[in-house]
Amino acid sequence: MRKNLFVIGVDVGTSSTKAVVFDEEGNPKVEGRASYPLLRPRPGWVEQKAEWWWQAFQKATKEALKEGTINKSRIVAIGITHQRITTVFELLYRD
């Protein structure tokens, strides 16, 4: 018996973020994508701003879930991959 449940897979890559909504059988149903630039401050260096990743995540998921595409209440999980071992910490408590 199908329950019409969905999962979202998000890939935060080197030049863009892609969000794909999959059905219970693993079939891709809809996707959203958002890109960002690469900064090259000196030869051999490549940098990006963490804010760009967050903004792209929001844009890609909103695009994939735009009105009428998927019943958002049927999403049961989200999986996120990121660029290798990148970690960004944010200070949430301030005096």
Q: Is the pLDDT of residue 53 over 70?
A: yes
Mean pLDDT of the chain: 88
Q: What is the mean pLDDT of residues 56-74?
A: 90
What local confidence, expressed as pLDDT, does residue 83 receive? 73
What CATH number was assigned to the domain covering residues 6-81? 3.30.420.40
pTM above 0.75, yes or no: yes
Give DSSP secondary structure letters for 50-95: HHHHHHHHHHHHHHHT-TTSS-GGGEEEEEEE-STT----------
Does position 43 have pLDDT exceeding 80, yes or no?
yes
Domain ranges of the chain: 6-81
pLDDT for position 47: 87
pLDDT value at residue 55? 94
